[in-house]
Amino acid sequence: MEKFKRIILSRRTVVLVISIIVLILLGSRDYLTKQWQQFELNREFVCPESQTPDKAEAYLYKFTEFYMSNYPNMTFQDFLSRRMQLLVSNNCSTTLQNLANDNNDALPDQNSVNELKNAPYDKSTNPTLKELPAYLSK
């Protein structure tokens, strides 16, 4: 009888553990889906100067749409740092040079990305992606 109780108890324990694991996996499914989509988005990235303007614009739209849909509370500054990180890590020298020329700055590099990420937060000049359309319409 004692052995039978242990077997039942151990089966209940296994079922409980499996149930907990399933719940954890279901709860993290959205997170894992977002991470996979972000990985795919980064994997699809091609420097803008290496593709047609239509394809570059389509990717930028997809990139922007992904972050606006999945991270509406991300600040515009963080969004820009993610975009710049892709440009720097893929050595998109023409696009980076154009950015530098537009801003009369030095060529953006990893230090520029880090500075952008760590810049002080100012809500008046750094809206969240959710607030961005209203901010731009001012």
For residue range 98-117, list pLDDT tens digits in order: 877 766 666 666 676 677 66
**pLDDT 10s digits, 31-81:** 777 877 888 888 888 999 999 999 988 988 888 888 888 888 888 888 888
Tokens in use for 64? 């922007």
Q: Is this prediction's pTM over 0.75?
A: no
